Structure 1
Amino acid sequence: MKVYGIKNCNTVKKALDWLNKNHVSYEFQDFKKLGVSEDTLARWEKEVSWESLVNKKGTTWRSLSDAEKTAVIDQQTANKLMQAKTSVIKRPVIESPKGLILGFDEKEYQDKLK
């Protein structure tokens, strides 16, 4: 299982704490250090929409100019933004045996990861 996120993100910290407390093994990839590839985004977008991956509630999205926000109109433009500004991706993204999980939801973790 692979967990993607940013180490200092509070939601990622909650998720990693839950995984560790419940003895769920995982590999962690930090977006800030390693980025995210086009192939990875394409793989995720087979399970969830690009709209779900772009975190429009986060500070990174809110700090974009209106022109940058309105330029995100489809998968291609969203992926370009997510690769340029990885912190705009909803976190964490977990590739689990039971499918992709976005964010932290304890019930969903219980259902899909235990």
Structure 2
Amino acid sequence: MVVQIQPRSPERIPEKVAFDRKELAVILAVYGRMVAAGEWRDYGISLLSDVAVFSIFRRSAEHPIYRIEKRPKLAARQGQYSVIGMDGRILKRGHDLKAVLRILERKLIRAVE
């Protein structure tokens, strides 16, 4: 009788969620307009196993005023993109990144006026 021993599979390392080049181009276009208007000054990007976060700061030493999140697990439900305010409220969520970021464009129009 021959007993085959199955090798232990290495533990799966979770892949990180990231923004692709097109998504970053859309985000950075809005970010650049807001920097030019003097509203924002700094940003940070966090790539985790279940979410990618683009954090926007008014000053670099404080908490983010907005977070743009990509959660692929929510793609079939409410949409994988969301804009979250400083207080943790979801301001906008959807499947199309440009449509979700329009909430920030409204802030730019108000800032210019």
Name the TM-score, length of structure 1 as normaliser. Answer: 0.33
Q: Which has the higher helix share?
A: 1
Q: Which has the higher strand share?
A: 2
From the CA coordinates, give the structure whose radius of gyration is larger. 2
